Structure 1
Amino acid sequence: MPLLPRLVSRFFLVILLLSWWPALSNAAANPALDKLQQPWNQLLQHHVTTDGRFNYEAMLDEETQLLDYLQSLRKIKPDPQTWSADDTKAFWINTYNAAAASLILQYYPLASINDIRVKEIGGLKSPWEAPVVNVGGQSYSLNQIEREVLRNQFHDPRVHFALMYGAASCPPVLAEAYTGTRVNEQLDAQAKRFLNDPAFNQLTPQQVQLSGLFESYAAEFGPEAQVLEFVNRYALVPVLPTAKVEYRSFNWALNDRTGLSNSQALGKH
């Protein structure tokens, strides 16, 4: 090949690689963070059922591994210099879920996470307000992680399909840890799985009955037209913009391996 065409070809190859570089950089794995999440990942693989429930009874035998994992977080501080935004999002989702699971195990067996009262100086606190995990030397409650960290930093309503609220009506638990390189793929898969499961949401073109999660977090999902637009991003059955929207009540029975029977399925308000 003559010199000039070769130079032109190489020039365009360099331009193409440079155009790909930001995407490749953003998708770069964080080996240290992936290693940190391995114990939690293994526990999820062992104890999440095929339908997304949690086998708390069996996990009691591995509670020490869970406590060791949570203890390791005391030495970790999310670093915006070396962590991507997706790394940080995945980290806090995992932290929330592991802390919630550990809290439930401390009081297991129980009928609902809402039955838990944590002893603190000055009285008892709900499972949502009590400090349940220490990250980088700072204690956090579940509400702090959800509201002050995840919501304020990321404004991503899909997170509510990933957080383990410990309830039968919460979305099925993912049987693996969230990772920075795959968190958007994982969150999309969670949204699609949850929205198209008739145990949680029932969708027809003219009418939708949505999980109470959408009502509880209306400030994040937006007005009704925006909610329907969101639903249509994942719905297997397209929903009309004029569809009637109803919200189903939220069942706070524990999301253990028993699951919901048809008679226990979500009902309307």
Structure 2
Amino acid sequence: MNAPVPSRPRARWSTVAALAALVALAVGAGLYVGGALPAAVPPAAGPFGYADYAQALSHVRPSGDLDFAGLQHDRAALERFVASLAAVSPHRQPELFPSPEDGLAYWINAYNALVLMQLVERYPDRVGASWFGGFYWTHAWPVGGERLTLYALKQRVLLGEYADPRVHFALFEGTRGGPRLDGAPYQPELLDAQLNDASRRYMGDARHVKLEDKTVRLASLLRERKQDLLAALPEGRGGNVLQFVWAFLPDTCEERPGCDTRGDLDRACGPLLDKCRVDFIPEDTSLPDAANAAGRR
């Protein structure tokens, strides 16, 4: 007599439960990274403003390097500003941010302050070449009732809701070769001029735009965000990224000796800017530390 083949319902259910757990983890991770999870909202300590953030930014040198000793001395001011972000945001209190400029200035300042806070918390022992990527996706802050990673703040909010390509040159990533941290908060009434200044600063830096004979060497950021830049051109995505670069190049290099000008690009690349080869160069990922300013080129 043949023995019956035993069924394995327990093993099947264990497999199903494991798969369900993996799906739940993947969904939860997606919600976390995408900034779709709620956060507790503490009571506001007072009217929202940028005074504490401005105090922290007073330790940014004209070169864009950071005086970390001074910044850590003023850490309480930065912490107060970051705490105010948890209580107030344009998503939660739109009446406090009636114009697009009010909202965009808030989000740029929030992004830069959170990067700055993370730098202060990690400096000097845990800040290396890859420090930024470690928390861009994985660390979330409470911001106006939402739990936002820097990824969510940039992709979903700053680029998704506002789509101004100049924002790329205003966002501090904590590297010497990236966009420079300005020494003052972005203000809604000055925002257009400040974004133009940030774009001009970036394009006027020889580490980001460098003409060598018939080759224009561009920072890797301009490759990574090329489609955003092209979308802002009258020609759209059929245009040339050098047209966007040209718009923010200086006419002279009095303030930045050694930079390339609009005239330089015109002469080398022709009136349509189509006679030059474009090459991309890696970013200097060193920390913009004023104590190590000798490394700045």
Using the size of structure 1 for normalisation, the TM-score is 0.75
Paired residue for 2:221, among 196, 213, 220? Answer: 213
Give 2:277's aligned residue: 244
Give 2:69's aligned residue: 57
Measured against aligned partners, the alpha-carbon deviations of 1:228-261 in whole angstroms (never above 9, x if no partner) come to 1111111132223112211110122212223463
- Partner SS, residue 148 of structure 2: strand
Paired residue for 2:204, among 196, 203, 208? Answer: 196
CA separation of 1:204/1:179 partners in 2, compared to 1, >3 Å: closer, same or farther? farther
Residue 42 of structure 1: CA displacement?
A: 1.9
| Residue 229 in structure 1 maps to residue 243 in structure 2 | yes
- Partner SS, residue 104 of structure 1: helix
Paired residue for 1:148, among 132, 156, 165? Answer: 156
Paired residue for 1:112, among 118, 128, 151? Answer: 128
Aligned residue identity for 2:137: E
Residue 40 of structure 1: CA displacement?
A: 0.5
Greater shift, 240-249 or 33-42, is seen at 33-42
Partner Cα distance (2:217, 2:132) in 1: 30
> Contact 1:114 / 1:127 at 8 angstroms: preserved in 2?
no
Aligned residue identity for 2:295: S
Paired residue for 1:88, among 72, 89, 103? Answer: 103
Give the gaps of 5 or more residues in structure 1.
1-32, 118-125
> Contact 1:111 / 1:253 at 8 angstroms: preserved in 2?
no
| Residue 77 in structure 1 maps to residue 108 in structure 2 | no
Partner Cα distance (1:87, 1:171) in 2: 22
Measured against aligned partners, the alpha-carbon deviations of 1:145-194 in whole angstroms (never above 9, x if no partner) come to 11000010111121111111001111221110001111110010111111
Aligned residue identity for 1:187: L
Residue 34 of structure 1: CA displacement?
A: 9.5
Give 1:40's aligned residue: 53
> Contact 1:103 / 1:132 at 8 angstroms: preserved in 2?
no
> Contact 2:48 / 2:84 at 8 angstroms: preserved in 1?
no
Partner Cα distance (2:131, 2:180) in 1: 21
Give 1:254's aligned residue: 287
Partner Cα distance (2:212, 2:65) in 1: 26
Partner Cα distance (2:197, 2:114) in 1: 23
> Contact 1:112 / 1:167 at 8 angstroms: preserved in 2?
no
Give the gaps of 5 or more residues in structure 2.
1-45, 231-236, 251-260
Aligned residue identity for 2:163: H
- Partner SS, residue 251 of structure 1: coil
- Partner SS, residue 182 of structure 1: helix
- Partner SS, residue 55 of structure 2: helix
| Residue 178 in structure 1 maps to residue 179 in structure 2 | no
Larger Rg: 2
Partner Cα distance (2:89, 2:218) in 1: 37
Aligned residue identity for 1:51: S
CA separation of 1:130/1:48 partners in 2, compared to 1, >3 Å: closer, same or farther? same
Greater shift, 249-258 or 163-172, is seen at 249-258
> Contact 2:175 / 2:285 at 8 angstroms: preserved in 1?
yes
CA separation of 1:165/1:116 partners in 2, compared to 1, >3 Å: closer, same or farther? closer
Using the size of structure 2 for normalisation, the TM-score is 0.68
Partner Cα distance (1:116, 1:227) in 2: 27
Aligned residue identity for 1:100: V
Measured against aligned partners, the alpha-carbon deviations of 1:46-88 in whole angstroms (never above 9, x if no partner) come to x101101122232111112211111111221314455210111
